Each structure stands twice: as C-alpha cells, then as structure tokens.
Amino acid sequence: MDACSPFELEVARLLVETLHLEDIKPEDIAPEEPLFNDGLGLDSIDALELALAISKTYGFQLRSDDQQNRQVFASLRALSQHIALNRVR
Amino acid sequence: MSQSWMKLPERSNTLALWLIRTIALHIGRPAGRALLYPITLYFLLTAGEARRGSRRFLRRALGREPTGREVFRHIHSFAATILDRVYFLTGQLARFKIEIHGGQRILDQAASGRGCILLGSHLGSFEALRALGVHRHHLPIRILMNTGHNQLMTRLLNALNPALAQSIIPVGGPETLLKVQESVEQGCLVGVLGDRAASGEKIVRCRFFGEEVDFPAAPLVMAALAGCPVILFFGLYLGGNRYQVHFEPLAERIVLDRRQRQEQLGVWVQRYADRLEHYTRLAPYNWFNFYDYWREDGP
C-alpha cells in the first residue's frame, strides 16, 4: 500500500478534524481508499461539511455541478489533487 | 433501518399510474375519481404490504382495530392525491379549494431573497404546496427527492412538466447536500421530506405516536450548516377538491455545537416529530407511509 504524501496527510488531518472521526487517525487513511459509502463510510452531510472546511482553509468552493465531483470525492488522493490544483491560499 | 418503503412494488402501480394520467388529462376529474374506486380495490387486493402498513398505522392512530372500510378509505385517499398531482403539475389550480395557513411567512421568506429549508413529510400532498408556490406566486421552490426509488413518478413528472422536473434535486452521491446548500444560498426554498431515513443515513431517535422512531438528521444538519431558517409545511387532503396547507416556523437558525450535536438535534427533530404527530392526528388518512413504520416486525 502507498504511503501518503505530506499534503495528503494535511488533507487527511483536515478531514478527521472537520468530521470528528474519533477512532480514525489521519495517517490511517489509505490514499486510494474510497471516502464515501464503502471505505471510510462518509455521507452527503460529511461531504457538505468537508466542502465548507475546504473553502475556509484553501479559499475555493467545491461546486455541486462540477463534472469531476464524483472523482474529487473518490479518495483522499483525488481530493488532495483537486485541492492542490484549485487552492488560492 | 427498514428499507421496505424502497422495495414497495412499483410494478403494480405502472398500469394504475398510466391510467390515472390518461384519465386525468383526457377524460376529466369526475371520471377519474369514479375510477379511483376500482383502482383502490385493485391495490387493496394486490399490495399486501401496503395494506398491512395501513392497518398497522390506523390501529395506532385510531386506538382500535380499523375496519376494512377504513383501510379502503386510507388507500383511496392516497390514490386521490396521486390523481390530483396530475392537475397540480399541469397548473390547474382553479379546480381546487386550497385553504392556506401561515402563507405570509413563505412569501416574506421568498421576498427577503434568503433561502430556507421547507421541511415536510409523507403526510398528504407536497404537490399542492409546490403548485401554489410555483404557479401562483412564482416562488423559487426546489424539492430534494429520491428519484431512483420512484422512477415512475419521475417519468410522470418529466412528461407533465419538464421545467418542474428540472428543479428537482435528486438524492444520491456525495454532492447532493452541496447542491442543496448552493440552492439555499441562491435564495431557493428547498423542500425536504423529513420522515423517512434511508439505510446508513445519520439518524435521530424521537418519540412519535408513543414510540421511538428513527428520523433522518440530514435536513436539520443541512439547515445548520447553511445557517438558514427552517419552515415546516403540511399539505393535507381533506376530501373532494379540498386541500389545506399549513406553514409553521421551526427555527430561524439552528446552531449545533459539535460535542452536543446529537442532543441538540434531538430537541429540534423532536419538535418536528411533535408537529407531524399533531397534523397526522388531525388527518390520519393522509399518512402515506404504507410500510412497517414503527418496525413492529423488528429491525
């Protein structure tokens, strides 16, 4: 299994903090593991909270009509790449 | 969580729905209403799960064993609102006597340009409310709907009013609530039905008709995250061509603290459940959850 890059670990920390995932450590999240449904088991409420946290931290909005949305939320790796590409701070 | 409402047979409805639509638009409401009797009878004989669901609910609501006639009346009332949906969807409001309580609140909310969550249920008809809002007042109403499990209704809606079909926010995928939040930000009144929790969804346990029931947490968490008001609505069918629509404020703003979130949500959802019980007792034949709602058969 792949290890997380430093930035992926940063996003994992944001994820764990925002969603108060008490029994999960940021470094436990496998970068290619699905975040929603199977895998980490996040849902649509978590996605909304995550989107709000991302906008606060990185200064850009995730849009629901984004064609790539499903890919963006697919895994920690995909999410981190999307943030890296779109962040303004 | 009980998923039986998702599994309720849509197949037996196929013919009935097609019939209802054809009759409604081409033959007229009086003939349509006459045909509701054989259609109801057909349902009563073929849809065992719906019939048992009705009987269980009526036993609870009436406090005694319901008669066959009462079960018939319950299913008939559901069929009548489906027939009327065709008229509501095509903007034929003049046919109906609709009594509105608390309507100014919605108009004020829409005029303010701030969006809100309109929290409803499967009690009665939300179509009456949507029709009023969209056709009479041109309000920016969107409804969050599970289009997947009710494909027939979705097809009917697409055929009758494609513009309205476009305004639906389909449930599914991580981006669903993001869409709701954006719509609220744009000033939309977003209708959500808060009485059925899907499998794996975050839930809040509340007392409802004397027993604990799982309600979905999403509508109120959403309102809290969007920082918008929540207005309750109930569209009751009173028989004949009469409807009664009620609006009530639930919260100007819901503030949730992370550590006490579940308790705080419990308070708000219980208020919703209490109002739902109030209106359900007023109009029990409007209860359109025809499945084992209280999980009398166990989880």
Mutate to test the interface with A, among B117, B171, B175, B262 (most CBs of A within 10 A): B175
Asked if B174 lies within 8 A of A20 by C-beta distance, the reply is no
Amino acid found at B192: V
User: B173 touching A, CB under 8 A?
Assistant: yes
Tell me the pLDDT band of B1, cut-offs 50, 70 and 90: very low
Which of B200, B201, B222 lies at the smallest CB-CB distance from A48?
Answer: B222
**pLDDT at residue number B242:** 96
pTM here is: 0.89
User: B144 touching A, CB under 8 A?
Assistant: no
**Whether the Cβ atoms of residue B81 and residue B245 lie closer than 8 Å to each other:** no
Alpha-carbon gap, residue A48 to A64, rounded angstroms: 10
Let me know if B120 is exposed, middle or buried by CB neighbors in 10 A (0-12, 13-18, 19+).
buried
Which of A42, A43, A51 lies at the smallest CB-CB distance from B178?
Answer: A51
Beta strand B211-216 with B141-145 is unpaired
Mean local confidence (pLDDT), B137-148: 88
Q: Which residues contact B187 (CB under 8 A, 6 or more apart)?
A: B110, B113, B114, B115, B140
Give residue-wise pLDDT tens across range B30-83: 888 888 898 888 888 888 888 999 999 999 999 999 999 999 999 999 989 988
Per-residue pLDDT at B15 exceeds 60: yes
Q: How many CB pairs under 8 A join A and B?
A: 57
Total length of chain B: 299
Q: What is the torsional sign of CA B146, B149, B151, B153?
A: negative
Mean local confidence (pLDDT), B142-161: 80
**Whether the Cβ atoms of residue A47 and residue B174 lie closer than 8 Å to each other:** yes
**pLDDT at residue number B5:** 45
**pLDDT at residue number B181:** 92
Alpha-carbon gap, residue B282 to B274, rounded angstroms: 12
| Contacts made by residues B260-265, CB under 8 angstroms, sequence distance 24+ | B262/B204, B265/B204, B265/B217, B265/B220, B265/B221
- What are the chain A neighbours of B179 within 8 Å (beta carbons)? 64-65
Let me know if B285 is exposed, middle or buried by CB neighbors in 10 A (0-12, 13-18, 19+).
buried
**pLDDT at residue number B218:** 93
Distance of CA A76 to the CA centre of its chain: 5
Alpha-carbon gap, residue B205 to B285, rounded angstroms: 24
Mutate to test the interface with B, among A17, A44, A50, A65 (most CBs of B within 10 A): A44
- What are the chain B neighbours of A37 within 8 Å (beta carbons)? 200
**B200: alpha, beta or left, given left = phi > 0 and alpha = psi -120 to 50?**
left
Q: Could you tell me which of B250, B233, B278, B287 has the C-alpha nearest to residue B98?
A: B233
- What are the chain A neighbours of B182 within 8 Å (beta carbons)? 63-64
Q: A75 to chain B, minimum CA–CA distance in Å?
A: 12
Which of B181, B200, B258 lies at the smallest CB-CB distance from A20?
Answer: B258
Q: Which of A19-23, A74-78, B91-95 has the least mean pLDDT?
A: A19-23
Question: What ipTM did this prediction achieve?
Answer: 0.83
**pLDDT at residue number B16:** 65
Tell me the pLDDT band of A85, cut-offs 50, 70 and 90: very high
Question: At residue B187, what are phi and psi to the nearest 5 degrees?
Answer: 95, 10
Tell me the pLDDT band of B284, cut-offs 50, 70 and 90: very high
Alpha-carbon gap, residue B219 to B209, rounded angstroms: 21
Give residue-wise pLDDT tens across range B162-198: 888 889 998 887 888 889 999 999 999 999 999 999 8
Give residue-wise pLDDT tens across range A53-71: 999 999 988 888 766 666 8
Domain boundaries, chain B: 4-286
Alpha-carbon gap, residue B226 to A87, rounded angstroms: 22
Q: Could you tell me which of B46, B44, B42, B71 has the C-alpha nearest to residue B56?
A: B71
**Residue B249, H or E segment:** strand B242-251
Alpha-carbon gap, residue B156 to B82, rounded angstroms: 11
**pLDDT at residue number B175:** 84
Alpha-carbon gap, residue B151 to B66, rounded angstroms: 32
CATH 1.10.1200.10 fits A6-86, yes or no: yes
Q: Which residues contact B86 (CB under 8 A, 6 or more apart)?
A: B20, B21, B24, B25, B156, B160
Q: How far is CA B252 from CA B182, B221, B257, B287, in A?
A: 19, 14, 16, 27
Asked if B179 lies within 8 A of A65 by C-beta distance, the reply is yes
